[in-house]
Structure 1
Amino acid sequence: MRMALKTVLLVGFLSTAVGACATGTDTGTGVQAAAAAPQETRTPPGVAIASAHSLATQAGLDVVAAGGNAFDAAVAVSATLSVVEPISSGIGGGGFFLLHDASTGRDVFVDARETAPAAATPEAYLDEDGELDRDRATNGPWSAGIPGLPAALVHVSEKYGRLPLAESLAPAIRIAREGFEVYPRLERGYARRSEVMERYQGTREVFLADGDPPQAGEILRQPDLARTLELIAERGFDGFYRGEVADKLLASVREEGGHWRAGELAGYTVREREPVVFDYRDWRIVTAPPPSSGGVALAQMLQILEGWNLPELDDAKRTHLVVEAMRRAYRDRTIYLGDPDFVEMPLGLLTDGRYAAGLRATIHPEKATPSTLLSGEPVPLEDDETTHFSIIDTEGNRVSTTQTVNLLYGSGLVAPGTGVLLNNEMDDFALKPGTPNAFGVMGFDANAVEPGKRMLSSMTPTYMESADQVAILGAPGGSRIITEVLIGILGYDDGLSAQQVAALPRIHHQWMPDAISAEPDALAPPTVKKLRAMGHTVNAGEDTWGNLQTVWWDKQGNRLEGGTDPRNPVGSAEVVLED
């Protein structure tokens, strides 16, 4: 089959808008009853992949050209991002894979979130004064949860893919061995984290191999990581979680003062969960359930906003209402959500349209609602950490995946001889209830640390479908991920192209701190003035954030588009059409 390559790059900014929609009915299962997925009368005319790096996008396309499907491509893209984006993700971290199997119509959420080791008790993260030990929570072995991404690569390949795992991992193995060109974001991120990273022998062996820190334009080679990926390709799950790699991981954590058990590695399992599904206007939204907080928050925010015809409102009034919806959803996120294997959550209530209507009634149309708890701390940015990719193939299979090591370069610790950079996801727990984490997000008992528990996440892989369209989207951004996806959904509902959605300016509110964050030029000066008169604190002109990757299929016109965030110059959205 001969393929023709078409790269879609349509750049532009348009205001987002949303109108009224129908409210779903509570099913009692924690998600909204939604209309059945529209019956597809045709399949896409090709393959579309959008990711944060061109090498990863190409790896996915190569695997599809070799006979793979979207799920094989997802393994290739994920593994390649683990090689070329150590600042953002890797096999020492975790992620969420939202899958749609076109042959059965089934939607499934593959949860590969990291888990807490048994040694990670709340007391282990407190200093001698009983305060949170921030260094231990974010740096080195105590900050790392048991990785989940390698298990997800094996699971997705074996259960949903068409090709052998070794074939899907081949591009990542080659790039790890031969190297790739360092780009400015890697150089800047290393400079910010160098003091931590250079504490550890294994990290120095990778990033100081030529005697100095990574510099843009240099070639970064990772032969140990290539060998680890080869062992996963040969042995599957056991290639990482048992045997020589596992032994080296355990030894490294132990030598640096931490404590993992062999059984905790060997006992890691991915979880398949039912996605959160709800209707919004003419769209069926399929998104992430707990331990992601994203889907529940999206359901709340969109159902709150259905009470107004936002296109008829001026920018200040519309922004005010969107922010108030964000505020309420993030409050509930803080109080109620956690790992569903450990915590009973009122998901039926939180995603019920009637509950959203009650929250809507508390919003004053002209005045800001002060948040219950106030903090003067700014919301830390996570523009460089975490990554997302979106895929659709010629059969109509879909993948929306977000993966991460948490902060810049995770824990900073590379286990010698493995090339595996460990995550620092333990900071996503409420290590000291009521104390904000590195993203300024509060947490309480629902997200308290326990052995084997998965920390709450903001990662929100999502797709949305109407009678004539499918859009797949997601983003990095820490606690801002959810509002990035919200803005993207509103953009698609407003008729924007995939590239316009990826480029949309962003605002954010997360209940605490009680402030609107806004990118440069996201809010016009007159709008800022009106919002402040309503009682909002507006931090206008903050640095840009996020890295949204999206693909779109127009079923009626049988067209594909990809959109990659212009904030990330190495991102890539490509469409390959069948001749």
Structure 2
Amino acid sequence: MRKMPWPRAGALSPWLLASLLLIAAPAYCEAPAQKTVARAQAGASAAHPPGAAIASAHSLSTQAGLEIIGKGGNAFDAAIAVSSTLSVVEPISSGIGGGGFFLLHDAKSGRDVFVDARETAPAASTPAAYLDDKGELNRDRATNGPWSAGIPGLPAALVHLAQKYGKLPLKTSLAPAIRIAREGFPIYARLEKGYGSRREVMERYRGTREVFLAAGHAPKTGEILKQPDLARTLELLAAKGFDGFYRGDVADKLLAAVKEEGGQWQASELAGYKVREREPLRLKYRGWDIVTAPPPSSGGVAMAEILQVIEGWDLSKLDSAHRTHILAEAMRRAYRDRTIYLGDPDFVKMPLKRLTSPDYAAGLRATIHPDKATPSDLLSGQPAPLEDDETTHFSIIDRDGNRVSATQTVNLLYGSGMVAPGTGVLLNNEMDDFALRPGTPNAFGVMGFGANAPEPGKRMLSSMTPSFLESQDKVIAVGAPGGSRIITQVLLAILAYDAGLQPQQVAALPRIHHQWMPDVISAEQGALDADTVKQLQAMGHKVNAGESSWGNLQTVMWDKRANTLSGGTDPRNPVGLAEVLLKP
């Protein structure tokens, strides 16, 4: 088999950018156009892809997935390898102490399924447990240490994928991650920088110090990080499946670590964790069939609202300022509904049919003034925090046409900062994604109310939006990390694909965002020119046009007419890799 690495970006023609949103792209969006390898005559439509394509946030995880494909595995086996390897090499973003969503397409049956491995709330995690003596949110408890951690879901998801969808034994698919955890990998700049920003919290905990200070000092770029305890935990998962993590030695050590640091988990909460399979959300946009994430993700609902609202305009005929205005107004309305209505479907009744209906979108569209911003109901002077390093995403298509779009996370940088001694497991801090104090923004500046309040066993609302797009000629898997900005990244990717861009160009596009609160259009530096900003301000928008870059979008595409595979990995992340493995 022959490997073909994809270059990181494509040259973005001005007319394509103009037809989307932006007038000029920043420098990191410029690079040679992608190569493709044709396997079918032009005009024909292939029944199967010519190989497999994987895009992930780290080259080692992409290569792990291709290794498993080479051993006869399918996209779902490869997903286990990619996910578990990311858990080793990206502790800043995800891990088996966290959770995730896996959107799957089984080519043989034609079935799409959404595997919900979101973390769940421990029984002790009541709203009152997160308030200080004055009744205000205790931000430290909400984001650091054992009280910030939900019951992990990712290990259960890996077992579930292997048992129900994979072709290979779990121990085979986990082997690359186990090897890399034991032998180590080179620390890269993002890990060093992220550790520096979280150092005070990380070094509170004995288990964390044992992993990240093993060399006698904080992690440094280029040094090798070995995680023997994590390797042993993964070996137990490989050998014993669910019981290897949620019962027995690993579970006992997790419970002891949480108790040692003052938290309250119960053995029954670990042993009782269950993956949920849910029906994905489906919508249409300009000839595309879109399959995306349902609650407890807010992503699919919000994206459906935005796309159906903006469908009332031909964005390509609007100038940059008015395109941005329309997008921001649609985003504003969708994020408002996200805040008020959405939560865990096992606990909350939501008006999903109304929120995703064309008639509702038409009503929202009618409230948008073509030349004037609509002030958000509640205003905040604080800009939305950047979320470039938390969460990770990968996309896979295999030679049979199976596909995976998966987003996994530990929430903030290095999650809770707490590693359970003897396990190598870095616990998440997903409890902050609940509305711990209704009406108080979380670490991403997003508010919530009763629908997203914590209850025992409840899953916190998420913005993770793994998605599939399919047209007559193309099949695409796409997703991104970025907290509340995930939704708008995937939205802009859909608009980019609709305009004809290739995967690497899609991954490189500059980004804008609006989330209702705070009432501000956020834009990467260079995404909006000075004249566009001036026009938007004249319409009544507050614009922050100089933000640092955010996101880490990963996408793969099968062009059925040319029978080619291609991938795009976000150039904002220098260690990502999109790669194609062709048939012999």
Same fold (TM over 0.5): yes
Matches of 2:294 and 2:59 in 1, distance apart?
29
Asked if structure 2 preserves the Cα contact closer than 8 Å seen for 1:9 and 1:562, the reply is: no
Q: TM-score, normalised by structure 1?
A: 0.95
Q: Does 1:292 align with 2:297?
A: yes
1:168 deviation in Å? 0.2
Task: For residue 17 of structure 2, give the secondary structure of its aligned residue in structure 1.
Answer: coil
Task: For residue 531 of structure 1, give the secondary structure of its aligned residue in structure 2.
Answer: helix
Q: Does 1:59 align with 2:61?
A: no
Q: Which residue matches 2:315?
A: 310
Q: Which residue matches 1:78?
A: 83
1:8 deviation in Å? 4.4
Q: Does 1:438 align with 2:438?
A: no
1:471 deviation in Å? 1.2
Task: For residue 273 of structure 2, give the secondary structure of its aligned residue in structure 1.
Answer: coil
Q: Which residue matches 2:361?
A: 356
1:541 deviation in Å? 1.1
Q: Which residue matches 2:425?
A: 420
> Alignment partner for residue 387 of structure 1, among 392, 399, 420?
392
Task: For residue 529 of structure 1, give the secondary structure of its aligned residue in structure 2.
Answer: helix
Asked if structure 2 preserves the Cα contact closer than 8 Å seen for 1:4 and 1:578, the reply is: no
Matches of 2:3 and 2:143 in 1, distance apart?
46
Task: For residue 93 of structure 2, give the secondary structure of its aligned residue in structure 1.
Answer: coil
Paired residues for 1:554-573 under 5 Å: 554-573=559-578
Asked if structure 2 preserves the Cα contact closer than 8 Å seen for 1:374 and 1:514, the reply is: yes
Q: Any idea what the Cα deviations from partners look like across 1:38-94, whole Å, max 9, x if unmatched?
A: x98510011100000000000000000000000000000000000000000000000
1:545 deviation in Å? 0.2
Q: Any idea what the Cα deviations from partners look like across 1:524-571, whole Å, max 9, x if unmatched?
A: 111001000000000011010000000011101111110000000000
Matches of 1:16 and 1:557 in 2, distance apart?
27
Q: Which residue matches 2:146?
A: 141
**Bigger shift: residues 9-18 or 321-330:** 9-18
Asked if structure 1 preserves the Cα contact closer than 8 Å seen for 2:18 and 2:320, the reply is: no
Matches of 1:192 and 1:350 in 2, distance apart?
39
Q: TM-score, normalised by structure 2?
A: 0.95
Asked if structure 1 preserves the Cα contact closer than 8 Å seen for 2:6 and 2:580, the reply is: yes
Q: Which residue matches 1:375?
A: 380
Query: What is the one-letter code of the residue matched to 1:251?
Result: A
Query: What is the one-letter code of the residue matched to 1:290?
Result: P
Asked if structure 2 preserves the Cα contact closer than 8 Å seen for 1:18 and 1:493, the reply is: no
Query: What is the one-letter code of the residue matched to 2:10?
Result: V
> Alignment partner for residue 264 of structure 2, among 259, 262, 272?
259
Q: Which residue matches 1:29?
A: none
Query: What is the one-letter code of the residue matched to 2:483?
Result: G
Asked if structure 2 preserves the Cα contact closer than 8 Å seen for 1:514 and 1:537, the reply is: yes
Q: Which residue matches 2:120?
A: 115
1:6 deviation in Å? 4.2
Q: Does 1:157 align with 2:157?
A: no
Matches of 2:446 and 2:4 in 1, distance apart?
43
Q: Does 1:191 align with 2:196?
A: yes
Task: For residue 546 of structure 2, give the secondary structure of its aligned residue in structure 1.
Answer: coil
Matches of 2:106 and 2:169 in 1, distance apart?
18
Q: Does 1:270 align with 2:275?
A: yes
Task: For residue 399 of structure 1, give the secondary structure of its aligned residue in structure 2.
Answer: strand
1:514 deviation in Å? 0.2
Matches of 2:525 and 2:130 in 1, distance apart?
37
Q: Which residue matches 2:460?
A: 455
Matches of 1:86 and 1:186 in 2, distance apart?
8
Matches of 1:467 and 1:356 in 2, distance apart?
26
> Alignment partner for residue 496 of structure 1, among 494, 501, 505?
501
Q: Any idea what the Cα deviations from partners look like across 1:373-399, whole Å, max 9, x if unmatched?
A: 001111011100100000000000000
Matches of 2:524 and 2:315 in 1, distance apart?
21
> Alignment partner for residue 464 of structure 1, among 449, 469, 477?
469
Change (3 A) 1:18 1:7: closer
Matches of 1:201 and 1:432 in 2, distance apart?
30
Asked if structure 1 preserves the Cα contact closer than 8 Å seen for 2:19 and 2:317, the reply is: no
Change (3 A) 1:208 1:4: closer
Matches of 1:10 and 1:448 in 2, distance apart?
41
Query: What is the one-letter code of the residue matched to 2:178?
Result: I
Asked if structure 2 preserves the Cα contact closer than 8 Å seen for 1:12 and 1:499, the reply is: no
Q: Which residue matches 1:365?
A: 370
Task: For residue 137 of structure 1, give the secondary structure of its aligned residue in structure 2.
Answer: helix
Asked if structure 2 preserves the Cα contact closer than 8 Å seen for 1:57 and 1:572, the reply is: yes
Matches of 1:16 and 1:59 in 2, distance apart?
38
1:18 deviation in Å? 6.5
Q: Which residue matches 2:211?
A: 206
> Alignment partner for residue 17 of structure 2, among 1, 8, 15?
15
1:4 deviation in Å? 4.3
Q: Which residue matches 1:93?
A: 98
Root-mean-square deviation (Å) = 1.2
Task: For residue 541 of structure 1, give the secondary structure of its aligned residue in structure 2.
Answer: strand
1:450 deviation in Å? 0.5
Asked if structure 1 preserves the Cα contact closer than 8 Å seen for 2:479 and 2:555, the reply is: yes
Asked if structure 1 preserves the Cα contact closer than 8 Å seen for 2:203 and 2:209, the reply is: yes
Matches of 1:193 and 1:503 in 2, distance apart?
28
Count of residue pairs the alignment pairs up: 559
1:10 deviation in Å? 3.6
Asked if structure 2 preserves the Cα contact closer than 8 Å seen for 1:16 and 1:494, the reply is: no
Matches of 1:259 and 1:382 in 2, distance apart?
29
Q: Any idea what the Cα deviations from partners look like across 1:123-142, whole Å, max 9, x if unmatched?
A: 00000000000000000000
1:432 deviation in Å? 0.3
Asked if structure 2 preserves the Cα contact closer than 8 Å seen for 1:8 and 1:562, the reply is: no
Matches of 1:408 and 1:253 in 2, distance apart?
19
Structure 1 stretches of 4+ with a deviation exceeding 2 A read 2-14, 16-19
Asked if structure 1 preserves the Cα contact closer than 8 Å seen for 2:465 and 2:480, the reply is: yes
1:11 deviation in Å? 2.6
Q: Which residue matches 1:575?
A: 580
Asked if structure 2 preserves the Cα contact closer than 8 Å seen for 1:17 and 1:493, the reply is: no
Task: For residue 86 of structure 1, give the secondary structure of its aligned residue in structure 2.
Answer: coil
Asked if structure 1 preserves the Cα contact closer than 8 Å seen for 2:96 and 2:425, the reply is: yes
Q: Any idea what the Cα deviations from partners look like across 1:221-254, whole Å, max 9, x if unmatched?
A: 0000000000000000000000000000000000
Q: Any idea what the Cα deviations from partners look like across 1:292-324, whole Å, max 9, x if unmatched?
A: 000001100000001001101100011100110
1:7 deviation in Å? 2.7
**Bigger shift: residues 375-384 or 61-70:** 375-384
Q: Does 1:341 align with 2:340?
A: no
Q: Any idea what the Cα deviations from partners look like across 1:404-441, whole Å, max 9, x if unmatched?
A: 00000000000000000000000000000000000000
Over the matched positions of the two proteins, sequence identity in percent amounts to 75
Matches of 2:525 and 2:557 in 1, distance apart?
27
Q: Does 1:168 align with 2:173?
A: yes
